[in-house]
Chains A and B, each alone.
Chain A
Amino acid sequence: MSQILVSMDGITKQFPGVLALDQCRFELRAGEVHALVGENGAGKSTMMKILTGVYTKDAGRIVYKGKEVEIAHTKAAQNLGIGIIHQELQLMPDLTIAQNIFIGREPRTKFPLFLDDNELNGRTQALFEQMNLKLDPRTLVSELTVAKQQMVEIAKALSFKSEVLIMDEPTAALTNAEIDELFRMITQLREQGVGIVYISHRMEELKRITDRITVMRDGCYVDTVRTDEATIDAIISMMVGRQIYSTSKPSIDGSGQQTKVLEVQRLSRGNAVKDVSFHLNKGEIVGFAGLMGAGRTEVARAIFGADPIDSGEILVNGKSVSIKGPNDAVRCGIGYLSEDRKQFGLLVDMDVKTNISIASYRSFRNPFGWMKQAKMERNAEAHVASLKIKTPNVDQKVKFLSGGNQQKVVIGKWLTRDCQILMIDEPTRGIDVGAKSEIYKLLDELVQQGKSIIMISSELPEILRMSHRIIVMCEGRITGELSSAEATQEAIMKFATMRVEEEAK
C-alpha cells in the first residue's frame, strides 16, 4: 500500500444553527483517486474547505505526510501542495485566462513590482499543451462558456503541481468529451503519485475513475470502501439510508385530449436561436437534448422574455402573447428555473423564505401592500419539508445552503408561483441521487396535475427517463424530434451532432 498523504480525524465544524461536520474523518493515499460522496448538505465541501484553509475547524486533527499541521489560510494549503477546484467557480471574469491561472504567483521581471506577461502567457500555453487544451491564454474569462471556465479552474489547480488535488464536482458542467479529457488527466496524475479527492453526484463516474469511496451522511463519516468491491446500490443506500423513488419510462398514453398550452413559431435570436418552432401539450414533459452550447438555454430565455427576440411568435393556450420581459412571461403562467442559479435564479444574500416567495409576492400581501409574514413562512416551511431542503430554518440566508439545496429553493419558488408551464434548465445538476429522485417524482406529480414542463438536460439518461417527447438541438436549430418510444441515446446523439454544413452536402 502506498504512503498515506492526508489523514483527517475527529473533524467538527459548527456553523450558526448547523452542525456541518461531526467527528468526521477521511484518509487519502498517494496515487489514489478517492471519491467523497454523500447527499446535498452532507458536508463534503465543508470537509475539503477545512483541508484547504478556507474554513478553520472547531475540533479534530489533520496529519499531512506524517506530521500534524494547522492550515489557517488558503496560502498555507497551497504551500503544503494541496490544491482545490471549488464547486462554485472561483474565477475573475475581467482577467484573462493566464492571469486567472497564475493569480497570487505572477511571474515578475527583474523589478519585483513589475509583471512579466510574456512569461505568464508562455507558461499558460505550455500548461495547455500538456493538458491538450485549445485555448488562448489571453482570452478574457468572461468570454468563455461555463465548461471552458471549468477547464480553466482545472488547469489552475494542476499548475500548482499539487501532491493533493481536490475536485469538488468538476464534471457538473462538462460535456462528455471534456469529461473524457479530464479523466485522462486524472489517470495521468494518479500515475505520478498525486492523491486526488473526487466529489461527485454522478454514480457512474465513480466506477470509472475512483479507487476508494468514502461515504458521508449528515456531517458524519459512514464508511470507506474499495470501489471494485462495492456496488453502486450499496453506496447509494449508505448515502441516503432510505428507499429511493424509481421512475420507469413515463406512463404516457398521449392522454387523449392533446391541448396545446404553448406554441412557439419561428423563434429567432441572433446566432443563438435559429428558426425554432415547437409546441407543448398539457400534462406533457418535453425534453430538450443537445450538446453544451446548442442553444437550449437561449430558447428558454427567449420564451421567458429574459433576452429580446429578433422574430417569432409565442402562443399560450392558443392565444398569441407578447412577452417583453420575465414579468409578462410569469403573467402568462410561465416559470423558468435557470441553469446558473447563483447568477439568475437566487437572491443569495436573502433568506429561504423570501426566495421562495419572491415570484408570487402578489399572493402574500394584503390590499395595502403589507406583507403577510406568517403566510410566507408557512408556505416556505411547507416547501422546505416537501422538497427536503436542508436548512436550520426558513430565515437562513440562501448563500449558506449547500449547492444542491440552493437548487431545491429555486424549485420551491416556482412551485409557489403555481405556473402552468415550467421550463427547467438542468434541474438536477449538482443534486444527489436521493434528491434527484425526489425531483423526478415531483415533476411526475406536476404533470399529473395538468402542468406542462420543458426540461433541458445534458444528462441523456435523465432525458430518456422523464420525457414524453424529446426535441434535439444543435447550433441553435432544432435538428430532430423523437417520441419517448423511439428515443435512444444513439438516436439523440445523431441529431445533437447534426450540423448544418453536413446537412447541406
Chain B
Amino acid sequence: MKLAEVQNRVSVRKPVFMKTGATQKLLAFASLILLVVFFSLSSENFLRFDNVIGIMLSTAVIGVLALGSTFVIITGGIDLSVGTVMTFASVMTGVVITFWGLPIPLGIAGGILTGALCGFISGWLVAKMNIPPFIATLGMMMVTKGLSLVVSGTKPIYFNDTPAFSKIAMGTVFKVPFAVFIFFGLAIIASIVLSKTIIGRYNFALGSNEEATRLSGVNVTFWKILIYVITGAFAGIAGIMMASRLNSAQPALGSGYELEAIAAVVIGGTSLSGGQGSILGTVIGALIMSVLTNGLRILSVPQEWQVVIVGLVVIGAVYADILRRRKK
C-alpha cells in the first residue's frame, strides 16, 4: 500500500511546543513586572517595605475570592455571589463568636461552612435545576446581601471581647501579616487541587465540553456542585480574613468584590468560556490589580480616575489574550 505510506507521511504533524496557557501567564507576568518597574521609578515610596506589605495585604482578601472564582469560571460558569457570601460568612462568624460566645475555631468553622453551604445551594440550582449560573448566583448574591443585614440587625458585629480573633489576619511574622501567608498558602493548595487531583481534571473537562464529559460516564451534577462548594468555601475564608482585619463583621460591605475578583481571574488568562485557566494566572492577576491601585494612589491620581484606569486595564488584558489566540 504505497499511497497509504505517503498519506501517513503527509499527515504526521510537527508537535506544538508552546503550551497555550503559558504565553498568557508570561504576558501577565511581564505586565506585572512592567508596572512595578514603572511605579518604582515614578515614586521612591513605592518599593518601601511597608508599602509592599500594604499591597500584599490588600491583595489577600480579593485574591482569595479570585482563587475560588477561578474554579467556577473554568467550568464555564460564573459566581456573582462571592462578594456578598463573603460578607455573610463574616457576619455568621461574628454571630458564633460574639453573639453566642463560642470559641474562635468554631467561629472559623462556622464562616467556612456558611460559604460552602451558599456554594452548595448555587451549585445545586445550576447543576440540578438547570438554572443558568448567572441567574442562580445573582439571586444568591441578593439573598446573602439581605441575610447579612437581617442576621446582624444591620449593625456591625465587633470582636472586642476576643482580641485573638484579629490575629488571624493581622498577626505578623517578620512584620508580614498572616493574611498574606494565608493567601499564598491557599494559592498553593488551589493550584495543586486544580492540576493534580481528580477535581481539577473534571473541572477542566466540564468547561471544555460538558456533554462529552457526561457521555463518558462522569457524574457531572456531583462534580459541578462540588466546584461551587469550593468557590463558596473560599468566599467563606475570605470573609473570616476580612472580619479579622477589620476586627468586625461589616454587613453592608462586600458588593462589588465579586467583580474585582472576576477581573483578577480574567487578567490572569482564565477564559470566561471555560476550559482554560490557572491559579498562577489568577495570583498574578490579583497582584496586577492591587499594584495598579496602590501605584496610582501613590502618584496621587484621584480615586475616580483609578477606577477608570483599572477598567481599561481589564479590557486591554482580555483583548491581548484574544489577539494572541487569533495569531495561533
Contact = CB atoms under 8 A, between A and B. Distances in A.
Interface in B8-26: 8, 10-13, 15-16, 19-20
A175 B11 contact: yes
B11 A292 contact: yes
Interface string B155-168: 00000000000000
A134 interface: yes
A10 B205 CA distance: 36
Contacts of B218: 103-104
Contacts of B209: 90-93
B11 A293 contact: yes
A114 interface: yes
B316 to A, nearest CB: 22
A18 interface: no
A90 B215 contact: yes
Given A90-B209, A139-B15, A291-B10, A180 B198 contact: no
Contacts of A74: 214-217
Given A103-B216, A147-B11, A475-B10, A92 B3 contact: no
In this complex, the interface size class of chain B, counting residues with CB under 8 Å from chain A, is 35 or more
B198 A497 contact: no
Contact of B197 (A73, A114, A134): A114
A176 interface: yes
Contacts of B213: 92, 103-104
Nearest to A138: B15
A156 to B, nearest CB: 8
Given A54-B215, A92-B212, A103 B7 contact: no
Interface in B195-215: 196-199, 201, 204-205, 207-209, 211-215
Nearest to A147: B11
Nearest to A112: B198
Contacts of A292: 11
B212 A91 contact: yes
Given A114-B196, A134-B12, A180-B4, A78 B208 contact: no
A104 B10 contact: no
Contacts of A106: 198, 201
A146 to B, nearest CB: 11
Given A86-B215, A94-B204, A103-B213, A497 B275 contact: no
Contacts of B7: 175-178, 291, 497
B201 A115 contact: yes
B11 A291 contact: yes
A391 interface: no
Given A95-B204, A143-B16, A475-B10, A104 B216 contact: yes
B1 A180 contact: yes
Contacts of A474: 10
Interface string B58-74: 00000000000000000
Interface string A124-165: 000000000010100110010101100000000000000000
A113 interface: yes
Contacts of A497: 3, 6-7, 10
Nearest to B212: A90
Contacts, number: 104
Contacts of A178: 7, 11
Nearest to B197: A113
A94 B216 contact: no
Interface in A263-295: 291-293
A438 to B, nearest CB: 31
A113 B199 contact: yes
Describe B's contact surface by its main secondary structure. helix
Contacts of A147: 11
B276 interface: yes
A200 B211 CA distance: 23
A369 B213 CA distance: 42
B272 to A, nearest CB: 14
Given A90-B209, A92-B275, A175-B11, A108 B198 contact: yes
Contact of A176 (B4, B208, B211, B217): B4
A92 B205 contact: yes
Nearest to B200: A115
Contacts of A65: none
A292 B199 CA distance: 37
A321 interface: no
Contacts of A226: none
Contacts of B199: 113
A379 to B, nearest CB: 32
Interface in A463-505: 474-475, 493, 497, 499
B86 to A, nearest CB: 26
B297 to A, nearest CB: 38
B211 A177 contact: no
A497 B2 CA distance: 11
A291 B6 CA distance: 10
A99 interface: yes
B204 A136 contact: no
Contacts of A388: none
Interface string A416-446: 0000000000000000000000000000000
Contacts of A134: 12
Contact of A293 (B10, B208, B211, B219): B10
A133 to B, nearest CB: 11
Contacts of A73: 217
A420 B275 CA distance: 41
Contacts of B12: 134
Contact of A140 (B6, B20, B214): B20
A75 interface: yes
Contacts of A493: 3
B63 to A, nearest CB: 24
A474 B6 CA distance: 12
A291 B4 CA distance: 11
A104 B217 contact: yes
B8 A177 contact: yes
A90 B12 CA distance: 23
B196 to A, nearest CB: 6
Please provide the 3 A-B residue pairs with the shortest distance between their CB atoms, ordered closest to farther. Answer: A94-B275, A92-B208, A177-B4
Given A92-B205, A94-B276, A103-B218, 11 more contacts: A74-B216, A78-B217, A90-B216, A93-B275, A103-B216, A114-B197, A140-B20, A176-B7, A291-B7, A474-B10, A475-B10
11 contacts: A78-B217, A90-B215, A92-B208, A92-B213, A103-B201, A103-B212, A106-B201, A177-B5, A177-B11, A291-B10, A497-B10
Interface of B: 1, 3-8, 10-13, 15-16, 19-20, 196-199, 201, 204-205, 207-209, 211-219, 275-276
